[in-house]
Structure 1
């Protein structure tokens, strides 16, 4: 058993399979998830685990070269907007409908228990060298 990092065996295994350019969507409990991407559902109760907790845990494990979120987060969820701006200075913003369409091409979706709107970000994996 691991003693640090991500302990969830399904999530740890899915992260180990990622490569350069792969997409990982970290999403709130309400984001529609299309057929196709592997899904690790961490949602337990409304708000648990939070978007921030899961995102920060993933960022401790992954090299991320880019991130995309819905521009609607700016008005609808200022806390998530500030979190994303702090973690991703070059954050790309698109319409929520476009972000949902982009999700179909993701390799992995990690669903949180977040119950506030537009707490979603599509990460693009980089390399450590």
Structure 2
């Protein structure tokens, strides 16, 4: 048994399969997920686990070379907007509709229990060298 890092076997396995350029959507409980991407659903109850907690755990494990969020997060959820800006260098924004469209190309979707609007980010994997 692992003693540190991500303990969820489904999520740990999915992360190990990611490569350079693959995209991972970390999303709130309400984000529609299209058919196609592998989904690891961590949602337990409204707010559990929180988006910030899951994002931090993923950022501890992944090399991220780019990230995209919905521009609507800035007004509708300033706390999450600030969190994303603080954690992700080079964060870009698109409309929520465009973010949903791009989700179909993600390799992995990690659904949280977050119940605040627009708590979604598309991460693009980099390399460690």
TM-score normalised per structure 1 = 0.99
Q: How does 1:22-61 map to 2 (within 5 A)?
A: 22-61=22-61
Q: What value does the CA root-mean-square deviation take over the aligned residues? A: 0.4
Q: Report the equivalent of 1:12.
A: 12
Q: How does 1:37-116 map to 2 (within 5 A)?
A: 37-116=37-116
Cα-to-partner distance string for 1:57-105 (whole Å, 9 max, x where unaligned): 0000000000000000000000100000001131110000000000000
Specify the alignment match of 1:128 in structure 2.
Answer: 128
Where in structure 1 are there 5+ consecutive unaligned residues? none
Conserved in 1, the CA contact under 8 Å of 2:66 and 2:89? no
TM-score where L is the length of structure 2: 0.99
| Cα deviation 1:30-74 (Å, max 9, x = unaligned) | 000000000000000000000000000000000000000000000
Unaligned runs of 5+ in 2: none
Q: Distance in 2 between matches of 1:90 and 1:65?
A: 8
